[in-house]
Amino acid sequence: MTRLTGREDWERQYRASPSDVVENTTMSGLEVDPVYGPDDGEFPGQWPYTRGPYASMYRGRLWTMRMFAGFGTAVDTNARFKELLGAGGTGLSVAFDLPTLMGTDSDDPAALGEVGKSGVAVDTLADMETLFDGIDLGSVSTSMTINSPAAIVMAMYVAVGEEHGTPRRRLAGTLQNDILKEYQAQKEYIFPPRPSVRLVNDVVRFCTAEMPLWHPVSISGYHIREAGSTAAQELAFTLANGFAYVEAARASGLEVDVFGKRLSFFFNAHIDFFEEIAKYRAARRIWARWLRHRYGATDERAMQLRFHTQTAGVSLTAQQPEVNIARVAIEALAGVLGGTQSLHTDSFDEALALPTEKAARIALRTQQVIAYETGVTAVADPLGGSYFVESLTDRLEAEAEAIFAHLDELGQGSILEGVYRGIEEGWFQGEIAQASADFERKVNDGRRVLVGVNRFAQADEPEADILYIGAEAEALQRRRLADTKARRDGAVVEKALAKVRQEAARPETNLVPSLLEAVRSYATVGEVVGALAQVFGTWTERAVV
């Protein structure tokens, strides 16, 4: 049997895939091929997928333009969702407020002053019903950025879908549900690591069985990078967390070839253009190799790392905020050239407040300019073969592998146990803190230039228009919650919460069905979290100095 060359194999895959998004020309009219490289080289869609998970890449389908939105009450955010979809957005991404992210209800004293400020307040199923009112959940893909209460919020989304007549098997989207990075970077944890990973795995098991279009965990490097890590640390810590979830799922009896297809990733697109592109390429290669050689995957889709990208919030400046439009465009282009499957572009005013409608529209238009005007979508992996990009890809991979070796040693042959120990001993937190301090020193002494901040500053900057969420939104949300509590059947709620506690105490029982029962009774997020905490306990971080 004649062995196909890399190009022949790619051509076979390409012919089998759609390729009608772009014409075979650049904007200037110069004819280009859909891919470039030596005949015996590696091509997009070929293991280990350094050059992209699909043969046709954006010639077959553009990335999802998923805009992150959420503020005030569910009514406010529902209106923004409809505006974004009307402007050409192809996916929704829900930003929850801090109380919701922490599993705290809007009427809890700890929530005072934070309700609806940095995202939408969701206390009960009634809020989720309002949030997606008039939106066809069977035709839109939804991402929900939430972690500790992720299983509870997903249960609400499933319940709303069923109320709309959309069965769970047709619901498409992604739940972040990545609790390990919370202990390492973002700090929105509630329970200790081990029962928290049990909750993550329960969602993976449930979705693997019943929600084929849903990604039950989006393994996130974004917040690791926002906390101050280097690109190499973001790459390594994120993939290590992914390996940890793989080990947890396999230990519960799931087959890697089955659940591996449902895993997705979420990376930062920072301002160091070429380093970011190399980071994405290295991530695909590492994931494919580890899934095949360490975890025994044989299904190609289980080995193909697919990821969402968001431009770097931490790179935005409050000074001369319009300059952020340029930063976001460059970062978004890095995500596209790195082969992302989904992209959110930050609004230029986010360093000041929640995005205004105008700023959010400019952010979406930035993606549309890249997609339809630049010609970069005509060729798969256009920077593949670049001496610089290939060298950076190799160097980032080597740095990541050194970190994996350390975690493997910590866990005595288990990445999952190594990650647990790294969290418990404060190793991740210390590494990120050191990297963040190093960056800050470079900014302070001028070795790292921030335009408009430590160079090219402008006196008497005009005041920008901002979206301000006042106390009235919090008062309205509290009234909504009080009304829901008054209308629900308290005995049914208590019975559902008792079942949650009962099943939480049984490690082999999947908690998602009991969570579904609880949210359908209109139990609040805080009440369900409280029931789980009675069994799981809560977590206090070891101080890192």
CB atoms within 10 A of CB 27: 11
pLDDT score at 19: 58
Average pLDDT, the chain: 93
- Phi, psi for 215 (deg, rounded to 5): -95, 110
Percent of the chain with pLDDT over 70: 97
Q: Is residue 1 predicted with pLDDT exceeding 50?
A: no
Please state which of the ranges 231-240, 271-280, 448-457 shows the lowest mean pLDDT. 448-457
Q: What residue ranges do the domains of the chain occupy? A: 57-426
Per-residue pLDDT of 213-247, as tens digits, reads: 999 999 999 999 999 999 999 999 999 999 999 99
Residue 52 in tokens = 């992209």
The whole-angstrom separation of Cα 438 and Cα 442 is 7
Q: What number is the average pLDDT over the span 300-309?
A: 96
Residues paired with 97 in a beta bridge: none
* CA atoms lying within 13 Å on the CB side of residue 349: 16
pLDDT tens sequence across 104-150: 999 999 999 999 998 999 999 999 999 999 999 999 999 999 999 99
SS3 per-residue string spanning 258-287:
HHHHHEEEEEEECCCHHHHHHHHHHHHHHH
pLDDT score, position 440: 93
Q: What digits encode the pLDDT tens for the residues 10-22?
A: 999 998 886 555 5
CA 540 to chain centre: 25
Angstrom distance (rounded) from CA 91 to CA 88:
9
Q: At a CB cut-off of 8 Å and minimum separation 6, what does 15 contact?
A: none
3-state secondary structure of 455: strand
Distance CA 224, CA 47 (A): 27
Nearest to 505 by CA among 534, 467, 538, 473: 534
Q: The tokens 């350094």 sit on which residue?
A: 50
Q: What is the CATH number of domain 57-426?
A: 3.20.20.240
Q: Please report the pLDDT score of residue 461 as a whole number.
A: 77
Tell me the pairing of strands 172-175 and 141-145.
Answer: parallel
